[in-house]
Amino acid sequence: MPPVSNKAKQRLMAEARKYVKLVARYLKTAAPKIKIAAFPQNAIASWPWIKGAYDSTTNTIYIAKMYPFRDVREFKAIIKHEIAEWLSYLVTGKIMHRVVYGHSDSLFRRIYSAVHRYYPKSPEKLAQYVEKISMQEHD
């Protein structure tokens, strides 16, 4: 299967930008920018091993430029993952790099499940769920 075309990537990123803007509006916070970025190359393969990242200092979600995404579903999954990273950062105030800490964090897994459930149709439901989790975390 050929890698995802640039046109498809741009379309999916535009959809994600609209979605995070709506979620951010409901949460009364700034929406992250979503950009394509070049990550360092993998020493073994000719593509980076990082598919995406959320940078809390610039409030930006980056998607790997050189990674050969197999299909649209894989590309969309990375976008969802990074949206979950952004939302978990909003709730905890800590950036938990999954490459270092893994995916065993229950808060992240709950948020990721909610993103998976509500993306791209229900940004307000996702925002309500994140507010509920945030209140539980801070009590």
Q: Are 88 and 97 in contact (CB under 8 A)?
A: no
Q: Are 75 and 40 in contact (CB under 8 A)?
A: no
CATH of 6-131, one of 1.10.1740, 3.30.2010, 2.40.10, 3.30.70: 3.30.2010
pLDDT confidence of residue 108? 87
Q: Where are the beta strands (DSSP E) in 42-109?
A: 52-55, 60-64
Distance CA 126, CA 132 (A): 10
Structure-token pair, residue 114:
């909610």
If one compares 45 and 76, the residue with the highest pLDDT of the two is 76
pLDDT confidence of residue 15? 97
Write out pLDDT tens, residues 81-114. Answer: 999 999 999 998 887 766 556 667 888 889 999 9
Average pLDDT, the chain: 88
pLDDT band at 127; cut points 50, 70, 90: very high
User: Which residues, in sequence order, are bridge partners of residue 61?
Assistant: 34, 54
Q: Are 111 and 125 in contact (CB under 8 A)?
A: no
Structure-token pair, residue 19:
């979605």
